[in-house]
Amino acid sequence: MKPLNRVLIFLTALVLAAVTAWLGVQVASDREARAARFYEAVVKSRLAEVNGLLSAHLASVRESLTPALTAAGAQILAGDPSGGEGRRFVMTNPLVKGILVQDEKGVTFHPGQNPTGQELDFLDRLGAIADSGLLLAEMNPADGNDRATLAPGGWHPWFRETGLGLILWARLPGGGVAGAEISMARLKADFICLDPASAAEKASEDMRISILDSRNSPILSWGGFSPRQGTRPFIEKSLDPPLSAWKAACHLSPDVIDANEKSRRISLSLILGLTLLGLFGSALFIYREWNREVLEATQRVNFVNQVSHELRSPLTNIRLHAELLDNSIADDDSRGRERLEIIGAECRRLTRMIDNILTFGRQQRNAMDLIPSEWVPDRVVESTLELFGPGLREKGIEPSLRLFAERPVMVDKDALEQILGVLLSNVLKYASCGGFVGVSTGQRGDFTEILVQDHGPGIPLKSREEIFLPFVRLKDGIAEGASGAGIGLSIARELAVLHGGGLSFGFFGEKTGVRSFEGSPQGAAFLVQLRTPAPNRDEADGDSKTPAGSNETGGEAG
C-alpha cells in the first residue's frame, strides 16, 4: 500500500482514539464529580443529624434546669444567709458546677454569707464574666426591644484556657440574672451516651464521625474506620450555637474513594483499551485486507504472465511448423494454403495477445524497457498492416493509407508494432461495421505521429479517457461478443508514453503532423505520438535538420 494511505489510516485511527479518550475522560470526571457530590450529600446529612442530636439535647437540658436555676437565683438574690437553696441547686445537679447571681446593677451575690472554697474557686473562674456584666448584656440586648419580648434565658458560651465553656443564664423575676456554670465534662459524657445505637448505625464501617472541641481534639466519635493521625477530614462543619466553637467532622476511608476511583479507572481504561484495540484492529485489518487483495491481484497477474510465457513456446512452434508446411505443400493446393493462412493468422493473433499480456505484466511490475533502433516508421506500419490485411479484408475493409513518415529514426519497432496492433485489432473488433480504416503517418521534428481512423460506432464522450484504463471494455452494445481483456489501450498508451509521447483519442486537425481523413458522422480516431530522435550518424541528414513545427508531409491530399 502506498505510504500515504498507510499514514492516513494510522492518523484516522489516532484521531478517533483521541476523541474517544477525551470523551471517556469527560464521562469519568463527570461521574467522579457526581460521586463526590453524592458522598458530600450523604456525609453532610449525617453531620446535620448529629448536630441536631446535640442541639436537641442542649435544649432539653435548658428546659429541665432553667426552673430550678431561676428559683435558686431568686433565693440568693433575696438574701438567704444560709445559701441553702443555691447550694442545693449546685449539689444536686450533676451538670452544674456553680451558680452566679447578679442584680440589675451588676452586683454579684454569693450563696450564703461565707462562700466555701469551691465557691471561691468558681468565682475566680467566672470573675471576668461577673465583672464585665456579660450576662446582664445577654439579658438586655442593645437594640432596646420591648420588654415583653426579651429572652427569658439562654446559653452563654465563654472561652477559657481549657476550651469552650457554657453558662446557662436565666432572667430572674424582679430583675437580675442567674447563671449556672455547666460541667463540660459531664456534658461531653452525656453527648457520648446520646442514643449510641442509632448514631453508630448512622456511621458505617467506612466513615468516622467525630465531634471536635475548640482545640480540635475529638470529644466523641462513632464509626468503624480509624483515620491516620493528622488526616484532614472529608467534611467539617461547625455545630449550631452555643456550641459553634465545636465542629462535627467526618473522615471517609480512602478505600471508599479509592475503590470507586479504582473501579472507575479500571472501567475507563477497559473501555479506552477496547476502543483503541478496536480502532487499531480495524485499521490493521483494512491494511492487511488491502495488501491481501493487492497480493492476490499480483498473484493473478503473475499467474497470467506465467501462463502466457508458457504459451509462447508452443505457439512459436506452431507458427514455425505452419510456415514450414507452407513451403512443403503443393502450389496448387489452394485449399491447403488457405487453411495455413488461417492457422498463421490465428497464431499471429495469439502471439499478439500474449505479447500484450506480457507487456501488461511488465507494466505492472514497472519492468517495461524500450530498445530503440533505426527504422523507417512507414515500413513498420506497412508490415503491421500486412499482418492485419487478411483479417480486414475478411471484414470487407481495405485500409486507406497516407504515409509520410519516410525518415529513418530511432524507434522501438516492437513497441510500435504492438501499439498499431492494438489499434487495428480494436478496429476489427469494434469498428468493422464502419467498413473503413484509415492510417496516416507523419513526422515533425523528433516526433513521429500516426493516426488511425475508423467509421465505427465511435466512443461516447464520457468514456474517452476511461477506455485507456486497464480492464475497461465499453459495454453498451459495442463490445457484445467481442473478446479481449480490455488491456490493449492501456498498454498502448503506456508504451507510447514510455516512448516519450502519448496516445490519445480524437481529431486534432492541423495541429498534428498527419493529414487526417475526413471524419464521418461517427467513428473513432486514435493518435499515436512517439518521440523518435534521429539516429546518431556522422553525416548530417538533411531531414534531421528539419526545424520543429514544419510540416514535412507532402502536399498530397488523400
Partner 1 sequence: MNNRNSVYSRISEYIGVHEIALFLIFVGLYLPYSHGESVEVVAGFSNPVVLAGGKTLNYLKIGVRGLESQSRRARTPVNVALVLDRSGSMQGAKLEYAKKAAIEAVSRLDRRDFVSIVAYDDNVRVIVPATRAGDAGFLSSRISEIGPGGGTALFAGVGFGAAEVRKNKNPEIINRVILLSDGQANVGPSSTADLADLGSSLVKEGITVTALGLGLDYNEDLMRNLARSSDGNYAFMATPGDIEKTLDTEFGDILSVVAQEAEVTVNLVGCRMVRGLGREVEISGNLVRGRLNHIYAGQEKYILLEVEVDAGPGAVPAGTRLPGPMGGDVLVTLRDMGTGESVKEARTVRISTTLSSAGVEEGIDKGVMVEVVKLLARENYRQAVNLRDEGRVEEARQILISNAGYISVSNTLLMSNDLAKAGLDNDSAASTLDDANWNSTRKQMMERDHEWELQLR
Residues in contact with partner 1 by the rule CB under 8 A: 83, 91-95, 97, 112-119, 162, 183-186, 188-190, 192-193, 196, 217-223, 226
Single-letter code of the amino acid located at 28:
A
> 53 or 311, CB closer to partner 1?
53
Contact 533, 374 (CB under 8 A): no
Q: How far is the CB of 267 from partner 1 (least distance, A)?
A: 35
The three cell numbers of residue 30 are: 463527570
Q: How far is the CB of 225 from partner 1 (least distance, A)?
A: 10
Single-letter code of the amino acid located at 460:
P
Residue 533's SS3 state is: coil
> 221 or 553, CB closer to partner 1?
221
> 217 or 536, CB closer to partner 1?
217
Residue 374's SS3 state is: strand
> 118 or 145, CB closer to partner 1?
118
CA gap 239, 173 in Å, rounded? 32
Q: How far is the CB of 118 from partner 1 (least distance, A)?
A: 6
460 phi-psi bin (left φ>0, alpha ψ -120 to 50, beta other): beta
Q: How far is the CB of 249 from partner 1 (least distance, A)?
A: 14
DSSP run (H or E) holding 284:
helix 254-328
Beta bridge partners of 159: 164
CA gap 244, 264 in Å, rounded? 38
Of the candidates 463, 504, 469, the residue with the CA atom closest to the CA atom of residue 486: 469
Q: How far is the CB of 213 from partner 1 (least distance, A)?
A: 8
The three cell numbers of residue 380 are: 513498420
> 80 or 449, CB closer to partner 1?
80
Q: How far is the CB of 205 from partner 1 (least distance, A)?
A: 12
> 112 or 513, CB closer to partner 1?
112
Q: What single DSSP character describes residue 464? A: T
Q: What is the largest CA-CA distance in the chain?
A: 174
CA gap 470, 494 in Å, rounded? 11
Beta bridge partners of 167: 156, 181
Of the candidates 329, 58, 278, 59, the residue with the CA atom closest to the CA atom of residue 184: 58
**Whole-number CA gyration radius for the chain:** 57
CA gap 83, 409 in Å, rounded? 146
> 120 or 274, CB closer to partner 1?
120
Contact 239, 54 (CB under 8 A): yes
DSSP run (H or E) holding 23:
helix 3-78
> 217 or 366, CB closer to partner 1?
217
CA gap 382, 406 in Å, rounded? 12
Q: How far is the CB of 103 from partner 1 (least distance, A)?
A: 22
> 118 or 132, CB closer to partner 1?
118
Single-letter code of the amino acid located at 276:
L
Instruction: Let me know how many helices (H) and strands (E) the chain has, helices first.
Output: 12, 16
> 116 or 244, CB closer to partner 1?
116
> 217 or 328, CB closer to partner 1?
217
